[in-house]
């Protein structure tokens, strides 16, 4: 049975006045289960507070919109309280406890993508909340809680039962939350919209790569990531992940055409992608995109902390490394055709400007 590779939108799982949590379902996007990948979005309204939680999966968080505050507690470490804003990428290893808060008028939206291979449900995150109506301590009897926290009956019942919210709540405007500390950001987050570009092609596109060099914590997560921005009508070279990694792509902005080529030269997907879509390209399948006039941007995670790609067009394309005689024989074309083919795309790497 062939897998459905078509891009999908997230669906709401829970939420209230403070905001909502959305997730992509492996039943609708089978490659999530196949690749052991989870994907979700957190959207917080003003004064929205995502209660402290930990997950069964390591992941990368990416701020799609707005600004806010995140609390991050690594195992056996102090709490890091950091300011977050659009473009921030944050690596979240196993065992990390997080909370998220939005005090601004603009909605704060955070994307999560990660590895569910050690999780409870393939292709889906399972969160464990420390407080709230579904908090983990609601599963313990009062005498266990009293003994663990060294409190009396009334305090134990208040700590467990007072918070009626589930996952996300809206705080009163006068509630004071911790202020972010600038020194806490170091090593915890990287703003992909401000980071140095790995590739920048005039009138075509650019890319920022997230790896162990600019955010060492991704080594613990086991994932790499990139932010790609394609100019209007520009093309991204056909290519594939050459280290057997999966690439999970979320369309951040704009729209465009996408094609994927698979086994036996079969086109397995041809579609229009737009903001909010998530898609996964199977290992070694070749993918290419052409932006619509308004441009196309996407954020991807790759299931290795230092990903490698092979491109099949452009100045760094694999064709340039193959001997002329081999290409001539492989394509079954005369020498003149091979020379013409080789002479093209000598200056453009990865991204190609619109044709004149």
Query: Do residues 123 and 219 share a domain?
Result: no
Inter-residue long-range contacts of 184-190, CB under 8 Å, 24+ positions, other chains counted? 184/80, 184/81, 184/82, 185/82, 185/83, 187/215, 187/216, 187/217, 188/72, 188/80, 188/82, 188/90, 188/91, 188/217, 189/82, 189/84, 189/88, 189/89, 189/90, 189/215, 190/88, 190/89, 190/214, 190/215
Number of domains in the chain: 2
Mean pLDDT over 115-141 rounds to 96
Q: What is the CATH number of the domain that holds 211?
A: 2.60.120.10
Query: Do residues 203 and 115 share a domain?
Result: no
Residue 296: inside a domain, yes or no?
yes
pLDDT of 265-289, one tens digit each?
A: 999 999 999 999 999 998 899 999 9
Residue 356: pLDDT band by 50, 70, 90 thresholds? confident
Whether the per-residue pLDDT at 1 is higher than 70: the answer is no
Give the model's pLDDT for residue 231.
Answer: 97
Residue 278: inside a domain, yes or no?
yes
Whether the per-residue pLDDT at 115 is higher than 80: the answer is yes
Query: Do residues 58 and 204 share a domain?
Result: no
Give the model's pLDDT for residue 145.
Answer: 95
Of 185, 213, 228, the domain-final residue = 185
Which has the closest alpha carbon to 89: 209, 197, 7, 202? 209
Query: Do residues 181 and 257 share a domain?
Result: no
Whether the per-residue pLDDT at 95 is higher than 70: the answer is yes
Which has the closest alpha carbon to 52: 149, 160, 125, 131? 131
Mean pLDDT over 279-304 rounds to 94
Give the model's pLDDT for residue 262.
Answer: 92
Of 185, 215, 250, the domain-final residue = 185
Residue 320: inside a domain, yes or no?
no
Q: 262 lies in which domain range?
A: 192-309
Q: Which distant-in-sequence residues (6+ apart) come within 8 Å of 186 by Cβ?
A: none
Residue 2: pLDDT band by 50, 70, 90 thresholds? confident
Mean pLDDT over 143-151 rounds to 96
Query: Do residues 73 and 202 share a domain?
Result: no
Query: Do residues 177 and 269 share a domain?
Result: no
Which has the closest alpha carbon to 307: 249, 238, 225? 225
Query: Do residues 112 and 174 share a domain?
Result: yes
Residue 308: pLDDT band by 50, 70, 90 thresholds? confident
Of 123, 152, 185, the domain-final residue = 185
Query: Do residues 33 and 176 share a domain?
Result: yes
Query: Do residues 171 and 219 share a domain?
Result: no
Q: Which distant-in-sequence residues (6+ apart) come within 8 Å of 217 by Cβ?
A: 91, 93, 187, 188
Mean pLDDT over 79-101 rounds to 97
In this predicted model, which residue has the larger pLDDT, 356 or 161? 161
Q: Tokens 């909340």 correspond to what residue? A: 129
Residue 331: inside a domain, yes or no?
no
Whether the per-residue pLDDT at 155 is higher than 50: the answer is yes
Query: Do residues 103 and 173 share a domain?
Result: yes
Give the model's pLDDT for residue 58.
Answer: 95
Whether the per-residue pLDDT at 317 is higher than 80: the answer is no
Give the model's pLDDT for residue 254.
Answer: 98
Query: Do residues 288 and 254 share a domain?
Result: yes
């Amino acid at each position: 049975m062939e897998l459905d590779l078509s891009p999908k939108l997230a669906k709401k799982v829970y939420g209230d006045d403070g905001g909502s949590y959305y997730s992509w379902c492996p039943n609708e996007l089978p490659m999530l289960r196949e690749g052991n990948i989870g994907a979700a979005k957190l959207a917080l309204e003003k004064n929205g507070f995502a209660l402290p939680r930990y997950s069964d999966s390591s992941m990368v968080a990416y701020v799609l919109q707005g600004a806010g505050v995140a609390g991050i507690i690594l195992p056996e470490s102090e709490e890091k309280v950091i300011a977050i804003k659009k473009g921030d990428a944050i690596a979240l290893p196993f065992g990390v406890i997080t909370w998220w808060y939005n005090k601004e008028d603009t909605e704060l939206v955070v994307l999560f993508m990660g590895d569910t291979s050690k999780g409870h449900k393939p292709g889906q995150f399972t969160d464990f909340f420390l407080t709230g109506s579904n908090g983990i301590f609601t599963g313990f009897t009062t005498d266990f809680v009293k003994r663990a926290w060294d409190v009396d009956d009334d305090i134990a019942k208040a700590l467990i039962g007072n918070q009626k919210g589930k996952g996300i709540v809206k705080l009163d405007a006068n509630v004071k939350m911790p202020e972010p500390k600038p020194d806490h950001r170091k090593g915890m987050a990287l703003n992909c919209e401000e980071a140095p570009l790995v590739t920048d092609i005039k009138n075509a596109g650019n890319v920022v790569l997230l790896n162990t060099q600019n955010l060492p914590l991704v080594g613990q997560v086991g994932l790499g990531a990139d932010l790609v921005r394609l100019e209007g009508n520009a093309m991204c070279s056909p290519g594939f992940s050459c280290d057997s990694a999966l690439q999970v792509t979320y369309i951040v902005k704009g729209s465009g055409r996408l094609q994927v080529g698979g086994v036996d030269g079969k086109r397995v997907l041809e579609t229009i992608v737009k903001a909010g879509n998530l898609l996964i390209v199977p290992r070694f399948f070749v993918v290419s995109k052409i932006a619509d006039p308004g441009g196309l941007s996407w954020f991807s995670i790759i299931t290795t902390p230092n990903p490698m790609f092979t491109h099949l067009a452009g100045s760094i394309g694999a064709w340039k490394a193959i001997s002329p005689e081999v290409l001539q024989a492989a394509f079954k074309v005369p020498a003149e055709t091979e020379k013409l083919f080789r002479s093209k795309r000598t200056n453009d790497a990865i991204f190609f400007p619109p044709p004149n």
